[in-house]
């Protein structure tokens, strides 16, 4: 067998950093165009200026800074002292009580894309972090017309390298139109727009040179890669910028390049379908729910395919099924070859993991698989990577710790909880399932308590509960052990 060795290849991320009644879930106003547009016969096209003119206002520059404390120092009295301070700093140890001042230190430069008219901006996770992997103290977004805004950090998903920011102003922002990245084909014309090397808004042209790049390891272990590959020039600082098609629609977020120093014509972007899913979940849930099968798959080699009597190496071979997992409960066995998850064709083990991860936990999927030479279908209800399950609205169900009330875990009432805590049928709300002894709210809640209303608003899921909590004193209407009435809660 021939072995191929790749020398001097570095793969790096490309920011310029130093190294529910229940209210309905928030509906984001996204400009989405799912249709594929075929070429027209109107004659030769000599410029894409009109296309870029429509899209570039949605692309922004992202600047990050860290706030550090600097000890105030006396100025050196002469050249000799200046020399000694430089070469013998131990002679001038700082007074621990010396006054300090805050100083802003630039961290890096990247790019971003405005997804909604009310100011939600998508960029890369690595763009808004420092060398210690901490969120930057200050994130500034600069529009193409020079307007600058301090951005609020909304959330990030390191497993896909997507981060969401929020900027505010009275007038609506120019939001990008989103295309369905699944319609892409190798050879489609694309443009990479961003702020490369911090020089300002820049557009470069190329084509889609590959799709479905999912085994590169660019984002590290236990991540979810499914990159669009392009030869459009992408350089450091393009991270978080837009990859658009020839009609000015977003198809991806530029993320990484392969090369020793800069652009060599191999750049990668996160497909718009993944970005849209991650962004929506970060805004609505604060995290990205991911489905779980509970098995260990592997790719089929040619020899393995022959051993199983298969003509093709496409599919994911089940090496092991985890005990008491969704896969085991659904009837999946070791040695099965999974070909489809619903209508998604599975070509490899990595693709199986990616498809399942993008499906909401609690969803029933149909697995098409080969067992002992026969093709069969099995319904399987997916579990959750995080342990949380989500309802059809996309909101978490089951016991979930409150983000606003640390140490207080609540759950929507189901039949098991109603029986366990003897909750009457007419009582609806959230039941407290756990109270940490060290929670500062421990005196206000007890296990088995049902929160029916928060400030006169009915709550039946955690999102509604937290949305109706306000700073200061809140009015709760609760039930506990047959007693119903009002109580107060001061949100600290």
Which active-site residues does the annotation give? 126, 161, 239
> DSSP secondary structure string, 285-348?
HSS---EE--EEEEEPPHHHHHHTT-S---SEEEEEE-TTSHHHHHT--TT-EEEEETTEE--S
Phi then psi dihedrals of residue 491, to 5 deg: -85, 115
Length of the chain measured in residues = 492
Q: How many angstroms separate the CA atoms of 383 and 291, rounded?
A: 6
3-state secondary structure 423-442: CCCCCCCEEEEEECCCCCCC
Q: How many angstroms separate the CA atoms of 383 and 164, rounded?
A: 26
Q: How many angstroms separate the CA atoms of 48 and 51, rounded?
A: 5
CA angle 402, 406, 411 (to 5 degrees): 30
Q: How many angstroms separate the CA atoms of 104 and 66, rounded?
A: 6
Q: How many angstroms separate the CA atoms of 133 and 415, rounded?
A: 43
Q: How many angstroms separate the CA atoms of 34 and 13, rounded?
A: 29
């Amino acid at each position: 067998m021939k072995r191929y060795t790749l020398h001097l290849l570095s793969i790096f991320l490309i920011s310029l950093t130093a190294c529910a009644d229940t209210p309905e879930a928030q509906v984001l106003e996204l400009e989405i165009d799912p249709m594929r547009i075929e070429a027209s016969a109107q004659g030769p096209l000599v410029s894409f200026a009109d296309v870029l003119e429509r899209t570039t206002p949605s692309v922004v520059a992202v600047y990050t800074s860290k706030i550090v404390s600097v000890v105030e120092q006396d100025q050196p009295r002469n050249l000799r002292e200046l020399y000694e301070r430089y070469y013998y700093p131990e002679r001038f140890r700082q007074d621990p009580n010396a006054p300090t001042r805050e100083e802003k230190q630039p961290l890096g430069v990247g790019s971003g894309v405005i997804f909604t008219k009310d100011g939600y901006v998508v960029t890369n996770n690595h763009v808004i972090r420092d060398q210690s992997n901490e969120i930057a103290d200050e994130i500034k977004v600069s529009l193409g017309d020079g307007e600058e805004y301090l951005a609020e950090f909304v959330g990030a998903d390191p497993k896909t390298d997507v981060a969401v920011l929020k900027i505010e102003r009275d007038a609506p922002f120019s939001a990008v139109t989103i295309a369905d990245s699944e319609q892409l084909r190798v050879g489609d014309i694309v443009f990479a727009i961003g702020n490369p090397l911090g020089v300002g808004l820049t557009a470069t042209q190329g084509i889609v040179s590959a799709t479905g790049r999912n085994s590169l390891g660019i984002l590290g272990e236990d991540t979810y890669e499914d990159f669009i590959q392009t030869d459009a020039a992408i350089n450091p600082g393009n991270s978080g910028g837009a990859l658009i098609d020839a009609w000015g629609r977003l198809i991806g977020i530029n993320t990484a390049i392969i090369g020793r120093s800069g652009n060599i014509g191999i750049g990668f972007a996160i497909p718009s379908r993944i970005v849209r899913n991650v962004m929506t979940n970060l805004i609505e849930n604060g995290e990205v729910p991911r489905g779980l099968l509970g098995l260990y798959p592997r790719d089929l080699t040619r020899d393995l395919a022959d051993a199983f009597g298969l003509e093709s190496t496409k599919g994911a071979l089940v090496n092991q099924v985890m005990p008491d997992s969704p896969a085991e409960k659904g009837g999946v066995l070791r040695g099965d070859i999974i070909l489809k998850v619903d209508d998604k064709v599975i070509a490899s083990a990595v693709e199986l993991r990616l498809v399942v991860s993008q499906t909401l936990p609690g969803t029933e999927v149909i697995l098409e698989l080969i067992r002992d030479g026969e093709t069969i279908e099995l319904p399987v209800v997916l579990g959750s990577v995080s342990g949380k399950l989500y309802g059809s609205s996309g909101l978490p169900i089951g016991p979930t710790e409150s983000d606003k009330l640390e140490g207080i875990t609540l759950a929507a009432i189901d039949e098991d909880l109603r029986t366990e805590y003897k909750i009457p049928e007419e009582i609806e709300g959230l039941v407290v399932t756990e109270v940490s002894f060290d929670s500062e709210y421990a005196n206000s809640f007890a296990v088995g308590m049902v929160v029916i209303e928060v400030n006169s608003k009915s709550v039946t899921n955690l999102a509604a509960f937290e949305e109706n909590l306000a700073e200061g004193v809140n009015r709760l209407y609760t039930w506990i052990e047959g007693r119903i009435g009002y109580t107060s809660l001061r949100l600290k």
